[in-house]
């Protein structure tokens, strides 16, 4: 088996779940998260390097996932502009018996734009600095701060609406 194939197996076995979690937070859908990871793995392993370690590759895969996620949403937005009637609304993810709070948070994340969502995931899930997030998104730190601030406001409003909805329903 080629060296890169072994590295691929090792990466998926040791870090696969973590990559899926990262992808899930980015796109909010399990199937799409798996596709995102798979696409990123294919792209990264198309140009394998002998000196790679699992850590190196994971970094590349995460970066590729982020770029792919933003690209996909950019394309979908364009398609939605061109063919508004043909594009289906995003399906509501099926989270089974997950806790209400987690679902609320995911729903609140859905209210964000793709770039805002990416900023939130990189800053608060991956715990990266604002400068690092800016570098990854090819944006200025000021833009990232603005995205984060707007995202927190939006998510707060979305959570408030969700919390108020059952109350209103009981009345």
Site of interaction with another protein (CB under 8 A): 4-5, 8-9, 12, 16-17, 19-25, 30, 33-34, 37-38, 41-43, 45-48, 95, 98-99, 101-103, 105-106, 108-109, 120-121, 124-125, 127, 148, 152-153, 155-156, 159
First vs last Cα of the chain: how many Å apart? Answer: 65
Other CB atoms within 10 A of residue 43 CB: 15
Judged by CB, which is closer to another protein: 77, or 90? 90
For the bound state, the minimum distance from the C-beta of residue 1 to another protein, rounded and expressed in Å, comes to: 9
Q: Rounded to 10 degrees, what is the CA torsion of 163, 97, 62, 55?
A: 120
For the bound state, the minimum distance from the C-beta of residue 80 to another protein, rounded and expressed in Å, comes to: 26
Which among 89, 90, 82, 145 is positioned nearest to 119, based on CA atoms? 145
Judged by CB, which is closer to another protein: 48, or 70? 48
Judged by CB, which is closer to another protein: 59, or 156? 156
User: Phi then psi for 53, rounded to 5 degrees?
Assistant: -115, 170
Q: How far apart are CA 27 and CA 25, in angstroms?
A: 6
Q: How far apart are CA 104 and CA 73, in angstroms?
A: 22
For the bound state, the minimum distance from the C-beta of residue 56 to another protein, rounded and expressed in Å, comes to: 16
For the bound state, the minimum distance from the C-beta of residue 5 to another protein, rounded and expressed in Å, comes to: 5
Judged by CB, which is closer to another protein: 54, or 152? 152
Judged by CB, which is closer to another protein: 77, or 98? 98
CB 39 within 8 A of CB 68: yes
For the bound state, the minimum distance from the C-beta of residue 157 to another protein, rounded and expressed in Å, comes to: 9
């Amino acid at each position: 088996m080629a060296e890169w194939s072994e590295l691929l197996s090792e990466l998926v076995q040791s870090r696969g779940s973590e990559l899926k979690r990262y992808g899930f937070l980015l796109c909010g859908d399990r199937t799409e998260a798996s596709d995102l990871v798979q696409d990123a793995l294919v792209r990264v392993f198309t140009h394998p390097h002998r000196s790679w370690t699992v850590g190196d590759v994971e970094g590349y895969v995460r970066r590729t996932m982020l770029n792919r996620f933003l690209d996909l949403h950019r394309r979908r937005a364009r398609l939605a502009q061109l063919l508004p009637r043909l594009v289906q609304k995003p399906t509501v993810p099926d989270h089974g018996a997950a806790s209400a709070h987690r679902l609320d948070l995911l729903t609140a994340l859905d209210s964000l734009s793709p770039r805002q969502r990416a900023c939130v995931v990189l800053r608060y899930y991956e715990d990266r600095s604002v400068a690092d997030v800016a570098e990854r998104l090819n944006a200025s730190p000021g833009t990232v701060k603005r995205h984060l601030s707007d995202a927190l406001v939006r998510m707060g409003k979305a959570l408030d609406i969700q919390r108020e909805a059952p109350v209103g329903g009981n009345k």
